[in-house]
Structure 1
Amino acid sequence: MSLRIKAVVDRFVKELKEALDADIQDRIMKEREMQSYIEEREREVAEREAAWKAELSRREAEIARQEVRLKMERENLEKEKSVLMGTASNQDNQDGALEITVSGEKYRCLRFSKAKK
């Protein structure tokens, strides 16, 4: 009888060890799958972040280019404005002539006429 009990206990211990080994293997597989999933997600996030940073950098460069262009346009406008403001001046001459200075040359206009359409 004791041999029979020992055989039952031995079989029970063997089955328990097999079940534990199977459970350990299952947990190891799940851990590997989870780690693989985490690594893939981290790669995806890193790729999106790199793409976002590249787009941000591109936009910042475009803004800088536009600011330079705007500054140049503003400077040109100021130059044109100063030229235009300084070139035509009504001198309140006795004859009512308008004096215009273009590139340092003075011109007098005595009569005005409507532009033809």
Structure 2
Amino acid sequence: MDVRDSAGRWDALGSRDSSSRNAAMELIHQEVMKRIENIGPIPDPQSSSPSVMDDSLSSDLNSLLAHVLMLSKRCPYEDVREKCICLLQRVQVCIILIIELIVKIILNICSTIPYALHILCVF
């Protein structure tokens, strides 16, 4: 079975053949990580202009992650459930790193602009 197309990728997770499931999970893993990277380039902490996130990319990622979460709970194959859990944990770490970077950028901006923190709190 060709697991390269979107439908085939998900269908292969139901295969009795563990190598088909592994290949499908690898493609899903790559797709999730690619979508996280495509949300926007990780901004330079020294830069004062944050990147703008594309809502369609975020929505696609959310749909993909919702599907992975469902599989982590309901898939009849333990190997798929475990890999889905690992993928979700990796995404969680990536999101934490992105949030930490955003906080650093905000703190950098606040330290260079007088009353910037006050302005941010007002809005």
Pairwise TM-score range, normalised by the shorter structure: 0.3 to 0.5
- TM-score under structure 2 length normalisation: 0.31
Report 1 or 2 for greater relative contact order, CA contacts < 8 Å, sequence distance ≥ 6: 2
Structure with greater strand share of residues: 1
- TM-score under structure 1 length normalisation: 0.33
